[in-house]
Amino acid sequence: MIASLEGIVEDKALDKTVINVTGVGYEVYVNNTCLSSLVKGQRAKLYIREQIKEDAHDLYGFLNLAEKELFEKLLSVKNVGPRVAMAVLNIGTVDMVKRAIAGGDTKLLQTAKGVGRRAAEQIVVELRDKIGLSSSAEAEAIVGRSGETENDEAVEALVSLGYSLYDARLAMSNVDHSLPLESRIKQALKEVK
């Protein structure tokens, strides 16, 4: 298994580079930060994650172990493959991505190519306790919810009014569930203002 590569940057493309290691060129997929720091013709060291499948043998490269570790954690999320994990790393620094996960910031996660609302929620739910940051009350509300609750209609109403899904769910967590739908929505609107 390849753990790292050190060699000359031979080529750069949109999402990959070629590292020449003693005459062998390795094509490595990299994130935007890594790609921008590599200089063609200069020596570079990348930490590597190999993805071997029946029809492919891909290498993913990172400037440091923190990026690689976060990438591997993202891969552990159900339905998140290497391309989506790399897209999540492209939204910002490792610390920024970790804060987004711990804080339940699905809007930021959804800015990654290929990450929709459900994938962003899944990333938050599965990783918020594994990334080493304390989670916010909003993330707690996401994880603590059941699949279908009596507040789903109220949450949908808040979302249709322009609130984020998580702001709506957080507001609904402080609302008396015994109230009629209209009253729950009104009470939640007071919470989010």
pLDDT tens-place string over residues 52-77? 988 889 999 999 999 999 999 999 99
How far apart, in whole angstroms, are the C-alpha atoms of residue 55 and residue 49? 17
Short-list 86, 29, 99, 35, CA closest to 59: 29
How confident is the model at residue 133, as a pLDDT?
57
Distance between CA atoms of residues 74 and 82, nearest Å: 8
Residues of each domain in the chain carrying CATH 1.10.150.20: 65-144
Name the token pair of 23. 């005459």
For residues 62 and 93, the answer to whether their CB atoms sit within 8 Å is no
The CATH number corresponding to 148-192 among 1.20.1250, 3.30.70, 1.10.8, 1.10.1740 equals: 1.10.8
CATH architecture of the domain 1-63 equals Beta Barrel (2.40)
Q: At which residue do the structure tokens 């976060």 appear?
A: 70
What stretch(es) of the chain map to CATH 1.10.8?
148-192
Name the percent of the chain in helix, strand, coil, to the closest 5: 45, 20, 35
Class (C level, CATH) for 65-144 = mainly alpha
pLDDT 10s digits, 109-142: 999 998 998 999 999 989 988 886 554 444 444 4
pTM of the model: 0.67
